[in-house]
Structure 1
């Protein structure tokens, strides 16, 4: 797809993401949906109102009334869509830096659109084919209050509150100034936890840290866990559909490790799980141990959702799925990523095992993962970088998988190179039991790809 990446459309405000584009996406989505009412929500970004207004205008222009629900986490939007039977246009750039904004599209079942559904909307945008309403048929807008409260109550009812409360946990929460700031601190208090917070004021400038919950952005949370003697830290991205954990020592738990720990508790023989092409061997090991099966997709929530729906249609049970970035699905609860709910499921795990985080995740932490990103300025540079990646992959003495980019499995380690679906970057991932092995694999690929980019710049 040209307009939609691995999870909607995103870009730098005023450059690649403009009010005109947002209006056209809304008009296209409204035309495809042909819905009487559509939901509009946003995250905390400073440009949120600008784009929510543009989206609401676009929807009204094709005859849809609009429910404006304000600043709501992505899982809260999904909850409202499912409850009301309405589709939504959510203005959010998720984990991207503050200068970005974007759009996610959610169906009337409360599920982000599949690849095919996004393609239908994209075709309308590219062709500028919108079914505009006459003057007396344009839509109206209304404001709806209390969605965050109702969403939190729904999630609370779906977890074992008694077990979590009995565990007497002290939880440090870092919503990263995003939409989760309006829900997660109180949500974990309602679970019976003692809660301390950092970066918990909603602020679209993201003054405390960038929205992506990666280790280099979680220093404040790690320090808070140690200072407050917390049992666990929980961090979200900008739209709070992801959860990354910090153990009782103040060390970040790799998202691949927490996914494996959650999967080990959820999977039974005959089950399936779905993960992206950058899946860790940690999850592969868990799946094998459980007697379950693993399905790989291209990176991105829409691809995972599409495959989960296909498997469930075939009668296959998929109790858990996700990526190692903290985006975990529990499809029996809702077919969407939910940072607060995943946080609660992790607390259930701590309560059930009666052990500190470091002990709970220890069986799944035996691998070292390296992640690198290389920026590019134009399509010529990207083409050169991917060409170099393909040549490297074809010449390597390893098993090649091209589900998404080029993944090389060396038996004792693997490396993946692929273009980002949300930023002008090429991602490189490598994993091995020893850090030096992972570093050497990543460095070899990065050097080859960077050399091709530099040559394209100087051509």
Structure 2
């Protein structure tokens, strides 16, 4: 008789951990049995709360993602569950289809992190798992039989792609984007085969850009200098009204205006929320304070960084306000309630989505830059130190909690300040400058955010803060 493996024991030995959004780790650590353990632990964590006989799976374009999906599917079949495989689609496309079908789903993706890493995102029939669900997965005593070396091929179903596209083609008229010229920076995004067709269906002239057969780890919070230059060059060459892109799994948007300047994700979220007439927002502490300064919302709730924390506030906000949404500094937009737009019902999608904020903004007749000039002039910047162990980040933050003045003095500041410990260490100076340090929840990185009244000053503050931080712990 084949020996049984216990999910929690397999997971504990794997070295894979939950971050701000899903379980992440090195590809080599995602062995077939580890994948099986996570899939079954997820099911065991939710099966007493929901009734279902089918689980949906989709993947991004990472070289390792298909094999991980195969292992998850095989483990679920051991548990007498049906599996529907939607292939390479954006995470919100998978989540939306599964929610409509009232079934759980698993997305195989590492989002924006390098291709030598990967991850798993889990969704209950009602949306993203909670932090409590994560703990239930990690401690699950469910058992399974070790998987064989050769696993069956998966049968592709295109229903998730069709459903996601229909969500937006039904919201807008066919000439919504007529007269607009839009570039799609496709790279290796999971949604690259959806976006061009969708934008054309809405009337836009579309040009595909930068498609890659190799995985490209686009981080919408820390856009590379190379990608900044690409957008400027493309805009100059083609005279685009906008350039649209996403991260690897298509849940974080990246939008450039008519001049080829990439928008910050939180500013895109702010504009989208204004245009949708959202009443109450949940957004992480790292997002631009222009949100409050705009005076556009009846309530703004600040959270820790990560979509589970944003989503956790939706139910409370919905008790007081009919329209609720959230967004992160990376641009991922979460619609927390059903709303009416263009006289049509738009169903809630409480997970990060790249298409909604992009389409809402692009559907407006004005140039994108015109919207930005009307917002409070606060500018954020962010960057990271890669290959920076989490333990080192935590030690640094603990040190600065007790002696932030030395850190600030090295940055040239002597003003009084306030500290916020909601997520990492956020320092707000009396003069209005903000610097925020935190360990990434997805990778061994130290992230830094800054906000000032000047774009160049914010970028320089991030550069100097990371340099000083590195010196402190070296």
Same fold (TM over 0.5): yes
How is 1:88-167 mapped onto 2 (pairs within 5 angstroms)? 88-109=105-126, 111-124=127-140, 129-132=141-144, 143-157=156-170, 159-162=171-174, 164-165=176-177, 167=178
Q: Tell me which residue corresponds to 2:25.
A: 11
Match of 2:321 among 310, 316, 335: 316
Matched, 1:372 2:383: yes
Point out 4+ residue stretches in structure 1 off by more than 6 angstroms: none
Of 35, 38, 49 in structure 1, the residue corresponding to residue 66 of structure 2 is: 49
How many residues align? The count is: 430
Deviation at 1:48, TM superposition (A): 1.2
Distance 1:153 1:13 in 2: 34
Q: Rate the CA distance shift 1:256–1:365 in 2: closer, same or farther, 3 A.
A: farther
Instruction: Give the drift of 1:102.
Output: 0.6
Structure 1 position 116, deviation (Å):
1.9
| Counterpart check, 1:343 vs 2:358 | yes
Across the aligned residues of Structure 1 and Structure 2, the Cα RMSD in angstroms comes to 2.8
Q: Does 1:211 align with 2:218?
A: yes
- Deviation for aligned residue 1:95: 1.4
Q: Which moved more, 1:374-383 or 1:316-325?
A: 374-383
Cα 1:102–1:385, aligned 2, differ >3 Å: closer, same or farther? Answer: same
Write the distance in 1 (CA, Å) between the matches of 2:325 and 2:232: 27
Give distance in 1, aligned partners of 2:128 and 2:329.
Answer: 19
Conserved? CA contact 2:382–2:459, under 8 Å: no
Task: Give the 5 Å matches for 1:408-427.
Answer: 408-411=427-430, 412-427=432-447
Distance in 2 (alpha carbons) for counterparts of 1:169 and 1:435? 28
For the pair 1:239 / 2:249, whether they are aligned, the reply is yes
Equivalent residue number for residue 457 of structure 1: none
CA contact (8 A) 1:41 1:91 kept: yes
1:277 equivalent in alignment to 2:285: yes
**Partners in 1 of 2:133 and 2:316 — Cα distance?**
14
Q: CA deviation at 1:176?
A: 2.5
1:260 pairs with 264, 270, 275, which one?
A: 270
Structure 1, 434-443 or 229-238: larger mean CA deviation: 434-443
Question: CA offsets, 1:427-449, max 9 Å, x none?
Answer: 11111003565357546643453
CA deviations on 1:93-145 (whole Å, 9 max, x unpaired) are 11112222110001112x22122222221222xxxx114499xxxx9976423
In the TM superposition, 1:164-183 aligns within 5 A as 164-165=176-177, 167-183=178-194
Match of 2:331 in 1: 326
Separation in 2, partners of 1:58, 1:36: 14
1:183 is displaced (CA, Å) by: 0.8
- The alignment status of 1:356 with 2:356, answered yes or no, reads no
Match of 1:398 among 417, 422, 437: 417
Aligned-partner SS, 1:75 = helix
Question: How big is each residue's C-alpha offset from its partner over 1:393-430, in whole Å with a ceiling of 9 and x where there is no partner?
Answer: 48773222211111122241211111101110111111
Name the stretch that deviates more: 358-367 or 405-414.
Answer: 358-367
Please, which moves more after superposition, 377-386 or 97-106?
Answer: 377-386
User: Counterparts of 1:446 and 1:228 in 2: how far apart (Å)?
Assistant: 36
CA contact 1:392–1:445 (8 Å) conserved in 2: no
Once the two structures are superposed, what CA deviation does each residue of 1:191-247 show, in whole Å capped at 9, x if it has no partner? 11111111346x3x23xx433242533533442232121111111111111212111
Verify the 8 A CA contact 1:414 1:431 in the aligned structure 2. Answer: yes
Higher helix share: 1
> CA shift at 1:389, angstroms?
3.2
Q: How far apart are the structure 2 equivalents of 1:218 and 1:235?
A: 12
Counterpart contact for 2:109–2:121, Cα < 8 Å: yes
Contact 2:128 2:308 in 1 (8 A): yes
* Matched position secondary structure for 1:244: strand
CA distance 1:401–1:239, shift in 2 (3 Å): same
Change (3 A) 1:225 1:50: same
Out of 304, 308, 328, the position equivalent to 1:302 is 308
> Could you report, residue by residue, the CA deviation over 1:343-400 in whole angstroms, capped at 9, with x for unpaired residues?
211112x2xxx32111122223722323231245545433422323323448773222
For normalisation by structure 1, the TM-score amounts to 0.85
The normalised TM-score by structure 2 is: 0.83
Segments of structure 2 that go 5 or more residues without pairing to the other structure are: 1-11, 147-151, 339-346, 409-415
CA change 1:142–1:163 in 2 (3 A) is closer
Instruction: Decide whether the 8 Å contact of 2:88 with 2:191 is kept in 1.
Output: no
CA distance in 2, matches of 1:46, 1:291: 43
The match for 2:6 is none
Give the 3-state SS of the residue equivalent to 1:320 in structure 2. Answer: strand
Ranges in structure 1 where 5+ consecutive residues have no aligned partner: 455-459
1:191 aligns with 2:202: yes
CA distance in 1 between counterparts of 2:307 and 2:31 reads 24
